[in-house]
A and B are shown apart, each in its own frame.
Chain A
Amino acid sequence: MSAYVLSIIASGGVWAILTLSLNLVTGYAGQVSLGQAAFLAIGAYAAAMLSTRTGFGFVPAVLAAMAITAVASATLGLLALRVKDDFLVFATIGVNFIVVAILQYTDTFGGAQGIVAIPAAAIGPATLQIGAYAGLVVALALLAAFASRWIERSWLGHGFAAVRQDELAARAMGVPAARLKVVAFALAGLLAGLAGALYAYFLGNVFPQNFAFFISIQVMAMLVLGGLGTVPGAIVGASVLTALPEILRPLADYRYTIFGLVLVITVSFLPGGIMGHGGLLNRALGRLRPRRAAA
């Protein structure tokens, strides 16, 4: 495979991890966040600064970035205990703009020049070339997918579902809604931090504008297009919207128009997304599956 294809695969993996992160808070726990790019930024900047300024290696930098981002995201989770529904949507948009502004206007974070010359990812003595790096990112994306599925089926996932469907009823039944929300944000932060760190090493340089509000929209679009609340949906949505601009290269002048139209048309006709419940592909697959007895 050419380096071009491999780099698209690597970035597709990064977006899949970030989409899975959004799926944890929004798809499972029902807390709509339109600021996920802020946490991608925190993960990316943490990894970039640790590797360029303190000499952290690739693995420790990624792990540290995940921890830092989880703490930052859990802090937003605390805000979500007070601020709800549409107010939360705007608070998260606000967090995105504030984080980008802080990165852009403070010298500690490199300002508009960003943080450059991040060393290539290396595990032990072996420096990872683009092929190996793409493989690593895809493997980590799959790991994140399985972890998400595991959470979805565990008591934690059921708790998230209870909070999503009716927070008041969940609390009345003794579900610790507040704690679960913070946990959902923390777990989402772990994944966003992973995505951010991998993104930073992939790009080699990070700039505030890599994490603009449009990125948050794009991630939400990936999740909704694929199927909110489903792991296959997050993966498919991220893959489709990563590949789409490349496939549309001949129509480059109109790629934003097409992107916008894809959003409008998909959600209008497939509100559950491609892989969501009642989605096209799911219905087609459902016919092949043996039917279970009605519960």
Chain B
Amino acid sequence: MGDLSIQDLVVEYSSGGYALRPINGLSLDVQAGSLVILLGPSGCGKTTLLSCLGGILRPKSGAIKFGGVDVTALEGRGLAQYRRDTVGIVFQAFNLVPSLTALENVMVPLRAAGMSRGASRKRAEELLTRVNLAERMRHRPGDLSGGQQQRVAVARAIALEPPLILADEPTAHLDFIQVEEVLRLIRSLAEGERVVVVATHDSRILPMADHVVELVPAQTSENRAPETIRFAAGEVVFEQCTMGDLIYVVSDGEFEIVRELADGGEELVKVAGPGDYFGEIGVLFHMPRSATVRARTDGAVVGYTAQAFRERLGVTGIGDVIAERELASD
């Protein structure tokens, strides 16, 4: 069918009124016939990205193209058709319908595509045989093990031979024996022209990938000496939702810490004066910045890397910072 291309993707949603961008300017190209693993800790936007690829979530900006079709431009019927015919999804929680048998669960997308009852039953039987569940077709999900349920889910995902398979944490609820079967199955899907995208935070399954995309790039923990940086009034120190590697201690002037709101406005969190510090949580925990910082007056800050900051803190260390205690003066 074709290659998957993601250009400058930005997804924004409102979390408690604050603007949150789990994906901020992501670009990615995947060739047909490959298996991609999206790796990252929870909350880094893996599932968000899968939702966008599956035509379930609309990004704020950027484009997703699959086989020449611009997914972000699809609407209504075209979108439902894309979800049904182009994408197959394997969910973390299997998401089989509990009142239907394994066979009926696999028949759902086939019937939705307008196939007759008899034909869809025959096709579902073939698919379940392919995932080694010929013996358990009449069982309901409650009577199947996690691995078997996930295989039924895989059979459902590939029922209409979609050229794009999305798997969200497919091994999260499985023990290592069940994982083995499911991994083999998912690896075998990346055949021919098909693209398989697997989101996981489990780095043990990386060897099966053709490409690994780390959604939060590993920070280069290169230690540098603290540096003093000057800012003119109105200049931005860092922006919300970006990554950074410096923690700032104000030595002179005032800096305002503001949070961007989902409606486009912003909320003043606090004004930092000499001796105050900011930007520590994002750097220490490898998370994006939770606020934007601007110079309110002309001023200067000292930027510390995580390691330099730890050294400056002394023995009481990080605990004091998280508890928001004041820094001992130099």
Asked if chains A and B come from one complex, the reply is no
Which A residues lie at the B interface, using CB under 8 A? Answer: none
